[in-house]
Amino acid sequence: MTDTTKKAADNSNAVVHPPIPWALAIIGGLAIDWYYPLNILPIQFPSVWLGAIIFAAGLVLALWATVTIRKAGTALPINRSTTTIVDYGPYRFSRNPIYIGMFLGLIGLATSFNSFWILLALVPFYIVIRYGVVAREESYLERKFGEAYLSYKSHVGRWL
């Protein structure tokens, strides 16, 4: 069978596993902050506690979404086949609650470390996730599930 006659891979073919750019955003933000600290909040502000709460909210959301996907019996890794559209739990409110959890995690860390640079790292992280992961996931799910996914997509927002 030639390359042109092979079936498309039964996965999203995302450009990167989402934890990688998330970790790079944290590491890059902290590295720049170490060399050139730039605060986002006044020093006397209880940024550690506020950041911890935001980070915890993101972690809880990501864990809830992960447990929901696993209970539905479909694959979580982006390089594996999706077997069903999950439209309950946090997926009632967002098509991408795990990524929202990751965004909240970065915001929480930026707040805790009082780091403009970690906050700024949200921009490249968003671009990579939005165009290198989510766009490919959506295209894949449309091909695989057709009208069922389009219906879900029409009443549940990408982010919120």
Provide DSSP, 95-129. Answer: S-HHHHHHHHHHHHHHHHTT-HHHHHTHHHHHHII
pLDDT score of 5: 39
Rounded to whole angstroms, the Cα distance separating 33 from 14 reads 30
pLDDT score of 19: 95
Distance set, CA 54 to CA 57, 69, 91, 94, 142 (Å): 5, 23, 20, 18, 33
Instruction: Please answer whether residues 136 and 11 qualify as being in contact, where contact means their C-beta atoms are separated by less than 8 angstroms.
Output: no
CB-based contacts of 119: which residues, under 8 Å, 6+ apart?
29, 40, 106, 107, 110
Amino acid identity, residue 88?
Y
Rounded to whole angstroms, the Cα distance separating 49 from 27 reads 21
pLDDT score of 13: 86
Q: What is the pTM of this model?
A: 0.90
**Six-digit token pair at 116?**
């403009």
CA 23 from centroid of its chain's CA atoms: 12
Rounded to whole angstroms, the Cα distance separating 12 from 140 reads 5
pLDDT score of 118: 97
pLDDT score of 7: 56
Tell me the pLDDT of the chain (160 aa) as tens digits: 444 434 567 888 899 999 999 999 999 999 999 999 999 999 889 999 999 999 999 999 999 999 999 999 988 888 888 999 999 999 999 999 999 999 999 999 999 999 999 999 999 999 999 999 999 999 999 999 999 999 999 999 998 7
DSSP 8-state assignment for residue 132:
I
